[in-house]
């Protein structure tokens, strides 16, 4: 079977933004205008297609990224004159991502496999904290973007303030390709600067796009902004630049062609505008997706490495290449079991074929392949390069694993996820729940790489960790609804870490003599601290065969197990390097287990001498309050060991940006409500770890002992 759509007509895009900027509302309009749904779903009425989970509809927020496939013919194509609609149709794979920081993993893994993104902004708030985080993820993966300033019908909306916040906090490459006609209740349409034409959106759902004259009071502004836009575009092309300097009129097709190249190269970020809720501007966002965002063939080939030799391998987005794909999301489906979402980077995956999980070194047979429409499934026989789909029933695949043909193995770059910052103790209510809880937690941990399950070695209790209180609340709720597990949970606890602030050396000797063969392991280690966020590095510096090669992995394993226990208060240790530089062995008595124990002993001894400290998670906090309550709120933040970094203005309110230890922030929502008569709001996300003050460290150690 050959592909229905040429690869140049495929767009893999994500809708990303801060919570409440209108991502799901934009996605629902896209589904309506492209004919996937015949009724517009609304977040406030709980009938959206993309937010299909019960927990999402009850809370009015997106929790899990939902994928769908749709098709679009741009608005400027004359449908009456077109006999072959397919010729102009674009195949769009769309992922609607969450905006809440607790579910940031969904954004990161989606951006890893997407070719472009539509970043949605609240026209009143402009750039918000989670927008910045998502923007940095997109920078990390070099994802081309277009921006949509939404909610321009809201009281206090300002297109220019929002644009300035994008330029100040995200990128200087942002430039409007549209201007709004009217704001707040007067918002009625937009001016397309490339076409130099104004439009209104009529009909019950804004489906009738009507060309209107540019309002007289906007003509001067439109001329100025169009001049700026054309100058910015021609800067990217020498031929157009010389034509422009000669005073020639640049054809629209050339402007769009060069703008597309600049967007794909991340040199220009087009800014669009409208109101998704009032059905204004979304069709033009789809046009921009088709015109300016890349197809898989517009991007560089994907790089990987050979499993054995570690040599670099390149795979091009071509159906003739050997198949290579990346599993980016695992989901439990109540009807078909485990679903593995994957992006096909090269080759063709066919139903019934065998694939290799190169990351795990295992082979599996492809039983069923489905194309997802939120929580609905469409069976397909094969998936071509550049497409996104899901496989039913893979056994050993987890997020970030590479899937490939067994004859041509390749490992693609993995996705690195943030560490959990908060934990709670959980215990089943009955014996029957106890048996089901283990299965439920295992399945949920497979789905979500930022959710961890561990046992407390001192108390024997189960501790679940995640990115925030809401994240864990949703996990417990899903256990109850999807797996029928009733559980009691404790109070949230901070996920502290430990590290060292100095350097030290130590040796570990494990010698046991019994009647038969004994045990002998002897290692010498150096430990030194690393920069924050560098994790753990193990360096093998053994020379002259002081320790045989086969025992060195056992030493590393012993050190890694000791890392999990910590030396101050038994929290996991991080940001340090361990160098194995010497040791000795016994021809008969040495074994892997002996060297593992010796490595663990040596590391614990060295870590205790290297000035160990406790690290606490620091959160980035943004509080929005009326001017009257500013003093009380800032004083409260200072009392929580917070550092205020910026005080800004937004419409009639004050915006406080601060960094505060997570340990001080439990129950802050209630505190803020009482301080501001319910008029204050805040958002919080993880920023970094830093050493806890000595008095706090002492309290943490004593609390752990209790």
Q: What is the pLDDT of residues 565-582, one digit of tens each?
A: 889 988 889 999 999 999
CA 533/CA 288 separation, integer angstroms:
38
CA 531/CA 529 separation, integer angstroms:
7
| pLDDT band (50, 70, 90) for residue 52 | very low
Whether 438 shows a pLDDT value over 90: the answer reads no
pLDDT of residue 79: 58
Rg (CA), the chain: 28
The answer to whether 404 and 324 have CB atoms below 8 angstroms apart is yes
Whether 271 shows a pLDDT value over 80: the answer reads yes
Q: Judging by DSSP bridges, how do beta strands 10-16 and 90-96 pair with one another? A: parallel
The answer to whether 324 and 345 have CB atoms below 8 angstroms apart is yes
The DSSP secondary-structure symbol of 58 reads: H
Tens-place pLDDT, residues 653-667: 888 999 999 888 888
pLDDT of residue 65: 59
pLDDT of residue 590: 84
Phi, psi angle pair for 394, to nearest 5°: -70, 140
- Looking up tokens 């994928």 gives 67
Q: Which segment of 480-494, 543-557, 687-701 scores lowest on mean pLDDT? A: 480-494
pLDDT of residue 212: 93
- Looking up tokens 């800067």 gives 235
pLDDT of residue 638: 93
> How many CB atoms lie under 10 A from the CB of residue 515?
5
Q: Which segment of 52-56, 339-343, 378-382, 654-658 scores lowest on mean pLDDT? A: 52-56
Burial-class residue 21 by CB neighbours within 10 Å (0-12, 13-18, 19+).
buried
Mean pLDDT of 410-431: 81
Mean pLDDT of 238-251: 87
Mean pLDDT of 621-629: 87
DSSP codes, 155-213:
TT--HHHHHHHHHHHT-TTEEESEEEES-GGG--EEEETTTTEEEEEESTTS-EEEEEP
Phi, psi angle pair for 262, to nearest 5°: -70, -35
pLDDT of residue 181: 95
Burial-class residue 34 by CB neighbours within 10 Å (0-12, 13-18, 19+).
buried
Mean pLDDT of 33-45: 66
Burial-class residue 642 by CB neighbours within 10 Å (0-12, 13-18, 19+).
buried
Q: Which helix (H) or strand (E) holds 553?
A: helix 552-565
Mean pLDDT of 8-21: 86
Tens-place pLDDT, residues 198-228: 999 998 888 888 999 999 999 999 999 999 9
| pLDDT band (50, 70, 90) for residue 285 | very high
The answer to whether 349 and 383 have CB atoms below 8 angstroms apart is yes
CA 185/CA 22 separation, integer angstroms:
18
Per the model's pLDDT, the better-predicted residue between 41 and 110 turns out to be 110
Whether 705 shows a pLDDT value over 60: the answer reads no
Question: What is the residue-averaged pLDDT of the chain?
Answer: 84
pLDDT of residue 62: 46
pLDDT of residue 651: 65
Its pTM stands at 0.74
Whether 51 shows a pLDDT value over 50: the answer reads no
Listed in sequence order, the residues at least 6 apart from 216 whose beta carbon sits closer than 8 Å to its beta carbon are none
Mean pLDDT of 10-25: 84
CA 608/CA 610 separation, integer angstroms:
6
pLDDT of residue 648: 85
pLDDT of residue 41: 56
Quick one: what percent of the chain has pLDDT higher than 90? 33
pLDDT of residue 56: 43
Residues composing the chain: 706
Written in H, E and C, the secondary structure of 593-631 is: HHHHHHHHHHHHHHHHHCCEEEEEEEEEEEEEEEHHHHH
pLDDT of residue 515: 61
Per the model's pLDDT, the better-predicted residue between 629 and 338 turns out to be 629
């Amino acid at each position: 079977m050959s592909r229905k759509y040429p690869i140049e007509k495929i767009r893999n895009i994500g809708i990303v933004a801060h919570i409440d900027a209108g991502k799901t509302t934009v996605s629902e309009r896209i589904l309506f205008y492209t004919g996937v749904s015949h009724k517009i779903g609304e977040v406030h009425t709980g009938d959206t297609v993309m937010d299909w989970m019960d927990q999402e509809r009850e809370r009015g927020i997106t929790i899990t990224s939902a994928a769908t496939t749709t098709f679009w013919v741009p608005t400027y194509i004359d449908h009456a004159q077109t006999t072959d609609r397919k010729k102009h149709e674009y195949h769009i794979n769309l992922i609607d991502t969450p905006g809440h920081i607790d579910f940031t993993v969904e954004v990161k893994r989606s951006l890893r496999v997407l070719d472009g993104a539509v970043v949605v902004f609240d026209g009143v708030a402009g750039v918000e904290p989670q927008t910045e985080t998502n923007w940095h993820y997109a920078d990390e993966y070099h994802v081309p973007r277009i921006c949509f300033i939404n909610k321009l019908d809201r009281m206090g909306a300002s297109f220019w303030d929002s644009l300035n916040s994008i330029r100040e906090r995200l990128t200087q490459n942002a430039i409007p390709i549209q201007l709004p006609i009217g704001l707040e209740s007067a918002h009625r349409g937009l001016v397309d600067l490339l076409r130099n034409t104004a439009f209104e959106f009529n009909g019950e759902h804004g489906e009738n796009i009507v060309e209107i004259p540019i309002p007289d009071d906007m003509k001067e502004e439109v001329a100025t902004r169009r001049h700026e836009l054309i100058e910015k575009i021609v800067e990217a092309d020498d031929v157009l630049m010389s034509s422009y300097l000669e005073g020639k009129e640049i054809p629209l097709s050339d402007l769009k062609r060069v703008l597309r190249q600049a967007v794909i190269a991340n040199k220009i970020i087009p800014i669009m505008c409208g109101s998704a809720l009032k059905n204004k501007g979304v069709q033009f966002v789809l046009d921009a997706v088709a015109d300016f965002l890349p197809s898989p063939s517009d991007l560089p080939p994907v790089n990987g490495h050979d499993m054995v030799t570690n040599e670099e391998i390149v795979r091009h987005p071509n159906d003739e290449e050997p198949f290579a794909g990346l599993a980016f999301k695992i989901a439990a489906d109540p009807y078909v079991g485990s679903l593995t979402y994957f992006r096909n980077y090269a080759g063709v995956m066919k139903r019934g074929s065998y694939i290799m999980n190169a990351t795990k070194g295992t082979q599996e047979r492809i039983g069923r392949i489905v194309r997802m429409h939120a929580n609905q499934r469409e069976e397909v026989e094969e998936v071509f390069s550049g497409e996104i789909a899901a496989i039913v029933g893979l056994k050993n695949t987890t997020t970030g694993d590479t899937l490939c043909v067994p004859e041509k193995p390749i490992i693609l770059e993995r996705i690195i996820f943030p560490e959990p910052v908060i934990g709670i103790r959980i215990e089943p209510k009955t014996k029957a729940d106890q048996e089901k809880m283990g299965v439920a937690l295992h399945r949920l941990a497979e789905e979500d790489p930022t959710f961890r399950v561990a046992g407390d070695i001192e108390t024997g209790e189960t501790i679940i960790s995640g990115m925030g209180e809401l994240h864990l609340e949703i996990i417990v709720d899903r256990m109850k609804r999807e797996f029928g597990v009733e559980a009691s949970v404790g109070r949230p606890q901070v996920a502290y870490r430990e590290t060292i602030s100095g350097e030290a050396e130590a040796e570990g000797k494990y010698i046991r003599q019994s009647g038969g063969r004994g045990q002998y392991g002897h290692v010498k280690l150096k430990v030194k601290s690393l920069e924050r966020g560098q994790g753990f590095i193990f360096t093998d510096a053994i020379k002259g065969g002081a320790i045989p090669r086969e025992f060195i992995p056992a030493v590393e394993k012993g050190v890694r197990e000791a890392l999990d226990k910590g030396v101050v208060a038994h929290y996991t240790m991080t940001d340090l390097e361990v160098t194995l530089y010497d040791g000795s062995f016994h021809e008969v008595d040495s074994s892997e287990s002996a060297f593992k124990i010796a490595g663990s002993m040596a590391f614990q001894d060295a870590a205790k001498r290297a000035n160990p400290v406790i690290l606490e998670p620091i959160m980035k906090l943004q509080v929005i309050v009326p001017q009257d309550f500013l003093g009380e709120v800032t004083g409260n933040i200072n009392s929580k060991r917070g550092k205020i970094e910026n005080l800004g203005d937004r419409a009639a309110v004050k915006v406080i940006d601060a960094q505060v230890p997570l340990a001080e922030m439990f129950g802050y929502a209630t505190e803020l409500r009482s301080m501001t008569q319910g008029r204050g709001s805040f958002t919080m996300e993880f920023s970094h770890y830093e050493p806890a003050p000595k008095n706090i460290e002492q309290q943490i150690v004593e609390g752990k002992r209790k």
